[in-house]
Amino acid sequence: MMIVVMRKDATLKQIGSVIKTIEELGFRPHMSEGEEKTIIGVIGDERKVSKDALAVLPGVESVVPILKPFKLASREFKPDKTVVKLNGAEIGGERISVIAGPCAIETYDQVLEAAKSAKRAGAQILRGGAFKPRTSPYSFQGLGEEGLKILKSVGEKVGLPVITEVMTPELADLIADYVDILQVGARNMQNFALLEKVGKISKPILLKRGMMSTIEELLMSAEYIMANGNRNVILCERGIRTFEKYTRNTLDMSAVPVIQKLSHLPVIVDPSHATGERYMIAPLSFGAIASGADGLMIEIHPDPDKALCDGYQSLPLPQFEEMMAQLAAVAASVNRKI
**Whether 194 and 271 share a structural domain:** yes
In a domain, 188, yes or no: yes
**Whether 57 and 88 share a structural domain:** no
In a domain, 190, yes or no: yes
**How many domains, the chain?**
2
Q: What is the pTM of this model?
A: 0.90
Q: How far is CA 67 from CA 72, 214, 285, in A?
A: 12, 18, 34
Instruction: Judge whether residue 47 has pLDDT over 70.
Output: no
**Whether 183 and 92 share a structural domain:** yes
**Whether 25 and 145 share a structural domain:** no
**Whether 60 and 88 share a structural domain:** no
Instruction: Quote the CA–CA distance of 300 and 313 in Å, as a whole number.
Output: 8
pLDDT band at 34 (very low <50, low <70, confident <90, very high): confident
Q: Among the three residues 11, 33, 65, which one is the final residue of a domain in this structure?
A: 65
Instruction: Judge whether residue 13 has pLDDT over 80.
Output: yes
Question: Quick one: pLDDT at residue 139?
Answer: 67
Q: 298-323 in b/e burial notation, b at 16+ Cβ within 10 A?
A: bbbbbebeebbbbbebbbbbebbbeb
**Whether 259 and 206 share a structural domain:** yes
**Whether 49 and 104 share a structural domain:** no
Between β-strands 60-65 and 28-33, what pairing exists: parallel, antiparallel or unpaired?
Answer: unpaired
Q: Percent of the chain having pLDDT more than 70?
A: 96
Query: Which amino acid belongs to residue 282?
Result: A
Instruction: Judge whether residue 164 has pLDDT over 70.
Output: yes
In a domain, 36, yes or no: yes
Q: 110-148 in b/e burial notation, b at 16+ Cβ within 10 A?
A: bbbbbbbbbbebbbbbbbbbbbbeeeeeeebbbbeeebb
Residue 36 phi/psi, 5-degree rounding, is -115, -35
Instruction: Judge whether residue 135 has pLDDT over 70.
Output: no
In a domain, 52, yes or no: yes
**Whether 56 and 91 share a structural domain:** no
Instruction: Quote the CA–CA distance of 296 and 241 in Å, as a whole number.
Output: 20
In a domain, 79, yes or no: no
**Whether 141 and 10 share a structural domain:** no
CATH for 255: 3.20.20.70
HEC-encoded secondary structure of 105-148:
CCCHHHHHHHHHHHHHHCCCEEECECCCCCCCCCCCCCCCHHHH
**Whether 312 and 228 share a structural domain:** yes
Question: CA angle, corner 105, sides to 101 and 111, nearest 5?
Answer: 55
Instruction: Judge whether residue 36 has pLDDT over 80.
Output: no
pLDDT band at 290 (very low <50, low <70, confident <90, very high): very high
User: Are the CB atoms for 8 and 36 separated by under 8 Å?
Assistant: yes
In a domain, 158, yes or no: yes
Question: Quick one: pLDDT at residue 65?
Answer: 85
Instruction: Judge whether residue 140 has pLDDT over 70.
Output: no
CATH for 56: 3.30.70.1140
pLDDT digits (tens, 9 = 90+) for 225-281: 999 999 999 999 999 999 998 999 999 999 999 999 999 999 999 999 999 999 999
Instruction: Quote the CA–CA distance of 61 and 54 in Å, as a whole number.
Output: 10
Q: Among the three residues 65, 95, 113, which one is the final residue of a domain in this structure?
A: 65
**Whether 16 and 146 share a structural domain:** no
In a domain, 77, yes or no: no
Instruction: Quote the CA–CA distance of 197 and 71 in Å, as a whole number.
Output: 19
For residue 15, the enclosing domain spans: 2-65
**Whether 33 and 128 share a structural domain:** no
User: Are the CB atoms for 38 and 31 separated by under 8 Å?
Assistant: yes
In a domain, 257, yes or no: yes
Question: Quick one: pLDDT at residue 48?
Answer: 67
